Amino acid sequence: SIYIYGFGDGKADGDASKKDLLGGKGANLAEMAKLGLPVPAGFTISTECCTDYFKSGKQLPQSLYAEIDTAMAKIERSMKMKFGDPDNPLLVSCRSGARSSMPGMMETVLNVGLCSTTIPGLIKNTGNEWFVYDAYRRLIMMYSDVVMEKAEGIEPRDGMGIRIHLEIIMNELKNDLNYETDTDISALEMKTLCERFKRKIKETLGSEFPDNPRDQLMGSIGAVFKSWNGKRALSYRRIEHIPDDWGTAVNVQSMVFGNMGDKSATGVAFSRDPATGDNNFYGEWLPNAQGEDVVAGIRTPNPLNNTTKSSHNRHLPSLEEAMPGIYQELAQIRTTLEHHYSDMQDIEFTIQQGTLYMLQCRVGKRTGTAALNMAMDMFDEGIIDEITMVTRLNPKQLDEMLHPVVDPEAEKKTTPLAEGLPAGPGGAIGQIVFTSEDAVRWARTGKKVLLVRDETNPEDIEGMRAAVGILTARGGMTSHAALVARGWGKCCIVGAAAFKINPEQRKLVIGSKVFNEGDVLTLNGTRGLVYEGELMMKKATENSRFKAFMNVADRYRRLKVRTNADTPEDAARALEFGAEGIGLFRTEHMFYGADSARPLFLLRKMILSKSIDERRRALDELFPFVKQEIQATLAVMDEKPVTLRLLDPPLHEFVPQSLENQEELSRELCIDIDEIKKRSLDLTESNPMMGHRGVRLGITYPEISAMQIRAIFEASAELIIQGKNPLPEIMVPVTCNEKELLFVKNISEKVYQETLEKYKITAIPHQFGTMIEIPRAALKADRMAEHAEFFSFGTNDLTQMTFGFSRDDIGSFMNDYIDNAILDADPFETLDQDAVGRLIEISVALGQKTRPDIKLGICGEHGGDPASVEFCHRAGLTYVSCSPYRVPIARLAAAQAAI
């Protein structure tokens, strides 16, 4: 056969290695059958068949029909029942299952094969009329929804889905008769319910519910294939980056029944606790029910065992109590599977009149904390080796361990108000305020506030600092707010497009809801979700094993990990997280923030100066501030390299806007306010990001570069005299030509000699280098390396200039690029290896040609993105640099890249 792979009776055509062809579910059913576990017999129609089905315009391949006949005959022999047989009817399920699990995104139909000719036989054989009609009404509900409405595209006449129509009928019946659960409904009532269902289907969808097992089977198979391109599945694939051409498999499997009475049941379990990682068998089950009841949450499920009972299910009997023998058997299977797969398993099982059947197993999803605990436990238990342990944790999961988080249980029960980009990790609860000043004022009185803005700019920085969380309607993952928030490890959601913000009225409108200043919201910055009111939070307790785990990981990596930090506090935090240096210290940082009033004023005075004398005086006044700031951070980072970037942002950003600021300057400079206004206007640029910034400032005003370089050398000299070992690296930003570098280097060398003389010392160990953030610089890297001892790839700007995408404006179109599969991912979040990466590779090769020992780093936001770190490892960089909270992520990603 070419499309079909059978399983059952301890044998199988496939196995767990064939996930591509059989899907995860099919491959693991085959594997479990081979392990001798009790798997109901069935067969898998391969994902290839799905691909062929779509290629041929949604036609099942002709050869499939005969293959299905042969495969069905085999199951019939194994089960000693016949599909469609009036005396001894076999029922089957048709289950979807893709290569990588897409939980709940595609369709499954149970109890296929029930119809007017098979119902009496099944009643006779089981002696249980209630069960047969319960199974039948489930088939009708699933089939009409999945096959008739969704797959065959029959539009419900009144716009409401058929599933809802039928649920209403069933709920009305239960209400009228005062029944609490489905099991209260009598057999006869169940039977009439089925008749009413079928009439409703005819009425709403305009066609008959099929009364023929074969039609039901073929309809279900087609519907499962079609569900691959259903709306939910499509959007899930976009988010998870799953290719559209993988296709799903269909698993046709003989039914076993958990709804045959009190000795029957169904359940789901995890071989270890997926939330904590504790080595406890954890799960839920329901007596007298079919599989989907547990996941759909229609009844509170019972706990699996006594150790894992919790407050909401303590009153219900555990499986351990109710069916001790079966529980022991299941516990044995848990151990078998966990050892076989060497990982935590998520399993589905059903008990039919005292007999246990296994219906699914797969590697279970887990929280970051659980992943860490399980990996270390399994290593200790000898289930996995050390390399596997290090690879078991997705680096991004480390985030959770460093920040307080919204309790996932609480989130499950709540619908989010809105969704944005998950820009800063962790959770936050606070009262909303609409201006930076309010945030600061409210925070001073001890209130927890969320700063809500359309977008943020440098002037909001204090409000952002004061707020526990930040929420913006615009901006992308590398927008200012996002960058800053991540640096601080602050919860932040940007680009929540559904928000209409009115700062004047202090109102936030989302759809029909209006929120006023002081109203409480909860943010999940790790997932980008906004909730109304206050959700429970979970303390991100410092996991004692975290450090031990990271130490093991560190032994495997070659890349060094530095941090982007501009203050002694951030530097100290980064050191705690394991940073080995600073890859980016932005000197302009001192002009933003709480203590910036004086330096900012002096900077403004300097940029509004007309004559060189005016400017020199302003620079002289500014100098001690700059030196002091640099020295404080160099002191904290003693013995570790610190890359200090010369002034980078366009002067435009510092031009005084408010009248108050302008008046102050006019007094200080003794010029009239109109002149100040005129000079401000002169500095305004129409495209500041490509305007007068970076090295260009140093070309126009060499005295600015000289002042900064002097501050770096003098700060270092003084530390050396105190017996410390500062390792400054001077970095020139926004260069595109080696002569720019030479220009600044000449200044640097002159200032260096002057500093040595002034302090009477013989040397200050340092390096001189450049950012590579303009494509031209990358392509001329051999020339740049003549003057640069190191390159640091500024991949935020390099991405912006390579794509021509303004990084502050991508919010308005990036989603459309992702939705239409034009881009797989936002290139500002994860490095575009095709082109931006290519430019890096070119620079590395050219740079090393000129200077074989050139030091190579990356200081863009990508330095904390695992896929980008992996690229940097391959490209042969020396180090990556990222915000302090991402240092552990980069360390782990670097270790995994080297494995």
List the binding residues for substrate: 586, 645, 773, 794-797
Helix (H, G, I), strand (E, B) or coil at 305: coil
Minimal CA–CA distance to 624: which of 707, 744, 722? 707
Residue of the chain from 41, 45, 256, 741 that contacts ligand ADP (CB under 6 A): 256
Is-catalytic flag, 859? yes
Using the contact rule CB under 6 A, the part of the chain among 46-54, 251-259, 426-434, 877-885 near ligand ADP is 251-259
Told to judge if 339 belongs to the known catalytic residues of this protein, a careful annotator would answer no
Angle between helical axes of 702-721 and 738-759 (0-180°, round to 10)? 40
Q: Which residue, 358 or 709, is less far from ligand ADP as judged by CB? A: 358
Q: Residue 255 binds what, of ligand ADP, Mg ion, none (CB under 5 to 8 Å, by partner type)?
A: ligand ADP
Name residues whose C-beta falls within 8 Å of residue 497's C-beta, 6 or more positions apart in sequence: 420, 473, 474, 811
Q: Which is nearer to ligand ADP, 359 or 676 (CB)?
A: 359
Q: Is 338 in the site for Mg ion (CB under 5 A)?
A: no
Catalytic residue among 165, 403, 480, 766: 480
> How far apart are CB 142 and ligand ADP at their closest, in Å?
10
Give the nearest distance from C-beta 706 to Mg ion in angstroms: 22
Return the structure tokens found at 443.
């925070």
Residues 89-108, mask of contacts with ligand ADP (x by CB under 6 A): ----x-x--------x---x
Q: Which residue of the chain is nearest Mg ion when measured via CB? A: 797
Cβ contact 879:580 at 8 Å? yes
Nearer to ligand ADP among residue 95 and residue 480 (C-beta): 95
CA 658 to chain CA mean position, Å:
40
Q: Does 794 bind Mg ion (CB under 5 A)?
A: yes
Q: Which residue's CB is nearer to ligand ADP, number 29 or number 467?
A: 29
The phi, psi pair for 472, rounded to 5°, reads -130, 155
Indicate which single residue of 292, 329, 454, 675 sits in contact with ligand ADP (rule: CB under 6 A).
Answer: 292
Binding residues: 586, 645, 773, 794-797
- The residue within the footprint of ligand ADP, chosen from 33, 71, 110, 344 (CB under 6 A), is 110
Q: How far is the CB of 291 from Mg ion (least distance, A)?
A: 7
Q: What one-letter code names the amino acid at 815? A: N
| 55 SS3 class | helix
Residue numbers in the known binding site for Mg(2+) are 773, 797
Number of H helices, E strands in the chain: 35, 34
Rank residues 333 and 676 by Cβ distance to Mg ion and give the closer one. 333
* Interface residue with ligand ADP, options 47, 216, 220, 253 (CB under 6 A): 253
Q: What's the min distance (Å) between Cβ of 251 and Mg ion?
A: 10
Tell me how far, at minimum, the Cβ of 712 lies from ligand ADP, in Å.
60
Judged by CB under 6 A, the number of residues near ligand ADP is: 15
271 binds ligand ADP (CB under 6 A): no
What backbone torsions phi and psi does residue 293 show, to the nearest 5 degrees?
A: -60, -35
DSSP for 135-188 reads HHHHHHHHHIIIIIIIIS-PPPTTSS-HHHHHHHHHHHHHHHTT--SGGGS-HH
The answer to the question of residue 797 lying near Mg ion (CB under 5 A) is yes
Give the closest residue to 69 by CA, choosing from 3, 114, 117.
Answer: 3
Cβ atoms of residues 839 and 802 within 8 Å: yes
Q: How long, in residues, is the chain?
A: 899
Which is the catalytic residue, given 859, 862, 872, 873? Answer: 859
Q: Which stretch binds Mg ion (CB under 5 A): 256-264, 324-332, 354-362, 380-388?
A: 354-362
Compute the distance between CA of residue 692 and CA of residue 587 in angstroms, rounded to an integer. 17
Residues 301-360 that bind ligand ADP (CB under 6 A): 348, 350, 359-360
Q: Considering only residues 75, 255, 571, 778, which one is a binding residue for ligand ADP as defined by CB under 6 A?
A: 255
135 versus 897: smaller Cβ distance to ligand ADP: 135
Residues 30-69 that bind ligand ADP (CB under 6 A): 40
CA 110 to chain centre: 33
**Rounded CA separation 32/15 (Å):** 8
Task: Report residue 320 as tokens.
Answer: 């351990």
Between 570 and 773, CB nearer to Mg ion: 773
The dihedral built from the CA positions of residue 392, 396, 398 and 400, taken in this order, carries a sign that is: negative
Q: Of ligand ADP, Mg ion, none, which one sits near residue 495, judging by CB under 5 to 8 A according to partner kind?
A: none
- By the rule CB under 6 A, 76 interacts with ligand ADP: no
The amino acid at 37? L
Q: Supply 601's token pair.
A: 């004023």
Helix extents (H) in 492-649:
544-554, 568-576, 597-607, 612-636
Pairing of strands 520-524, 405-406: unpaired
Minimum separation from the CB atom of position 545 to Mg ion (A)? 31
Catalytic residues: 480, 859
Per CB under 5 A, residues contacting Mg ion are 360, 773, 794, 797
Per CB under 6 A, residues contacting ligand ADP are 40, 93, 95, 104, 108, 110, 253, 255-256, 291-292, 348, 350, 359-360
